[in-house]
């Protein structure tokens, strides 16, 4: 056996036992000390190397814990059988080096925070950290913090006519996360088919697909989803956005809403109502949610804070009808809460003191001004070429552009100006390109010029 002769560095901050451990490990993995060889006793090693027995013992024990060596009682330590080849040295990739800067990705304009009471938000967050530090000690309730669920319960009733006790509300980090929970619940109810709006909101469809659901696309008309094409004689679910359909912006009239509820009741099916952005209606009152009309517990209501607070907040919620709530109660402890507890409690305080309502009021005013200016600009610079469709709500408008250019090209031209414009193939035909235009992200004073520039690019 090779001599054990580590080159100790007594000036190093690395403890001697670690130096000995490192040395022995590299001798073993390098093959200098072979499998099955017996190592010197602790007493001998300590004498040979002039180290304490404790140091030798610590090094051997660490090697033993990691399995490089093993001890045979009353006999000593032996090198283990290791099944690696000779070329097992690994060096860290170069990528690891040179990442010392603190960077945040900054796309072009994406959002307007001029209404957001940032000072208040920071105060609420400070209050949570200072006055409720014990909140950090425990994981969040899988269903979400009760304080926030109570605030949401009051808010959705007053603003959207949604009837939900705090016990029926489930909080999650985004609509996709909540949709995963819905998939788990629906599987246990033997629902395997989900109808979606065509065109509709794709990110949610990915989740249904991942969970093995069959998807069927139902065309959207001016009045929302075509109810007569929904599956019958079969328990299924339909994902709809009746108060502000994405991307057409259409609103389902109340008569159609009752028809949809009737379909759900008759077919023991469920309506998954995505109420995204519906607080932001600029003409009159917001259209109340479908959930509030439901007497037969057939509606799941989904809401979110990212358009009304700021995009980086990932807090969404859903209101479950009774049967689904019972199933959720049985399985909820299987799943951990994904929302930040600090942010959930911050939002609860922000809602409780009225800051959230104030924020929405200000947003409605600002966005309706922006919308006005945007519509005037399209009228002035693109009359007869660009037709804005369903322009009463939300943070985006659908544009129908009379052109032979395809919408992907138009979108790229707009993006080159820093504007967020998304092509919509489903609504595009030979003579018309359809695009979704996020007008809300453009500062009011830049709106007119931004649209003029975009139209110029498009008509060049």
Tell me if 36 contacts a second copy by CB under 8 A: no
Residue position matching structure tokens 């060889």: 37
Enclosing H/E stretch for 300:
strand 299-304
Q: Within 13 Å, how many C-alpha atoms sit on residue 356's CB side? A: 25
Residue 390 CB contacts under 8 Å (≥ 6 apart), including other chains: 248, 249, 250, 251, 397, 398
What sign does the dihedral 229-233-239-240 (CA atoms) show?
positive
Q: Which C-beta is closer to a second copy: that of 259 or that of 432? A: 259
Q: Does residue number 258 form part of the binding site for a second copy (CB under 8 A)?
A: yes
Q: Which is nearer to a second copy, 167 or 431 (CB)?
A: 167
Among 84, 429, 445, 460, binds a second copy (CB under 8 A): 84
Phi, psi at 277, each rounded to 5°:
70, 5
Minimum distance from residue 134 beta carbon to a second copy (Å): 6
Site map (CB under 8 A) of a second copy, residues 276-305, x = contact? -------xxx-xx---xx-x----------
Binding mask 356-385 for a second copy (x = CB under 8 A): ------------------------------
CB of 293 to a second copy, least distance (A): 7
Structure tokens at 350: 């922000």
426: helix, coil or strand?
A: helix
- Binding residues among 393-412 for a second copy as defined by CB under 8 A: none
- Say whether residue 189 binds a second copy (CB under 8 A): no
Among residues 313, 324, 450, 454, the one that binds a second copy under rule CB under 8 A = 313
Contacts with a second copy: how many residues (CB under 8 A)? 117
DSSP H or E run through 435: strand 432-437
Applying CB under 8 A, does 67 fall inside the site for a second copy?
Answer: yes
| Beta carbon of residue 430, minimum distance to a second copy (angstroms, whole number) | 29
Q: Kindly tell me the sign of the dihedral angle through the C-alpha atoms of 432, 433, 435, 437.
A: negative
Q: CB of residue 50 vs a second copy: minimum separation in angstroms?
A: 21
* Secondary structure (DSSP) of 61-101: HHHHHTTSEEEETTTEEEEPP----S-------GGGSS--S
Task: For residues 306 and 317, give the distance between their C-alpha atoms in angstroms, rounded to a whole number.
Answer: 11
Beta strands 76-79; 69-72: pairing state: antiparallel
Given the complex with a second copy, which of 145 and 455 has the nearer CB atom?
145
Segment 92 to 151, residues that bind a second copy, using CB under 8 A:
92-93, 95-96, 99-100, 102-107, 110-111, 113, 118, 121-122, 125-126, 129-130, 132-141, 145-147, 150
Is residue 266 involved in binding a second copy (CB under 8 A)? no
Among 23, 192, 310, 358, binds a second copy (CB under 8 A): 310
């Amino acid at each position: 056996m090779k001599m054990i002769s580590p080159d100790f560095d007594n000036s190093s901050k690395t403890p001697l036992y670690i130096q000995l451990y490192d040395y022995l490990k590299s001798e073993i993995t390098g093959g200098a000390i072979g499998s099955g060889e017996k190592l010197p006793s602790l007493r001998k090693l300590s004498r040979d190397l002039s180290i304490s027995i404790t140091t030798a013992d610590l090094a051997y024990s660490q090697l033993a814990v990691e399995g490089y060596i093993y001890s045979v009682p009353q006999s000593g330590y032996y090198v283990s059988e290791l099944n690696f080849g000779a070329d097992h040295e690994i060096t860290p990739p170069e990528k690891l080096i040179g990442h010392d800067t603190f960077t945040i990705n900054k796309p072009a304009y994406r959002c307007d925070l001029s209404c957001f009471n940032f000072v208040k938000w920071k105060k609420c967050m400070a209050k949570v950290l200072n006055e409720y530090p014990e909140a950090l000690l425990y994981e969040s309730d899988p269903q979400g913090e009760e304080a926030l669920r109570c605030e949401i319960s009051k808010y959705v009733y007053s603003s959207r006519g949604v009837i939900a006790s705090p016990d029926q509300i489930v909080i999650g980090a985004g609509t996709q996360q909540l949709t995963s929970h819905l998939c788990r619940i629906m599987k246990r109810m033997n629902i395997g088919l989900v109808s979606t709006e065509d065109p509709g909101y794709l990110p949610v469809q990915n989740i249904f697909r991942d969970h093995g659901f069959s998807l069927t696309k139902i065309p959207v008309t001016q009045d929302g989803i075509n109810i007569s094409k929904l599956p019958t004689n079969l328990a299924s679910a339909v994902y709809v956005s009746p108060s502000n359909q994405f991307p057409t912006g259409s609103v389902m009239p109340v008569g159609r809403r009752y028809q949809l509820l009737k379909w759900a009741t008759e077919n023991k099916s469920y309506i998954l109502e995505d109420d995204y952005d519906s607080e932001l209606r600029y003409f009159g009152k917001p259209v109340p949610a479908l959930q509030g009309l439901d007497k037969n517990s057939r509606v799941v209501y989904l809401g979110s804070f990212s358009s009304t607070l700021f995009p980086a907040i990932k807090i969404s919620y859903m209101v479950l009808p009774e049967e689904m709530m019972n199933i959720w109660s049985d399985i909820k402890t299987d799943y951990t809460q994904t929302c930040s507890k600090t942010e959930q409690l911050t939002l609860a305080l922000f809602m409780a003191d009225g800051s959230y309502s104030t924020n929405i009021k200000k947003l409605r005013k600002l966005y309706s001004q922006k919308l006005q200016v945007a519509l005037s600009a399209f009228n002035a610079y693109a009359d007869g070429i660009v037709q804005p469709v369903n322009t009463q709500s939300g943070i985006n408008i659908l544009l129908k552009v009379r052109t032979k250019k395809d919408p992907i090209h138009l979108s790229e031209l707009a993006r080159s100006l820093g504007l967020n414009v998304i092509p919509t193939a489903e609504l595009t035909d030979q003579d018309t390109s359809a695009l979704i235009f996020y007008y809300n992200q453009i500062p009011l004073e830049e709106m007119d010029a931004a649209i003029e520039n975009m139209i110029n690019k498009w008509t060049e």
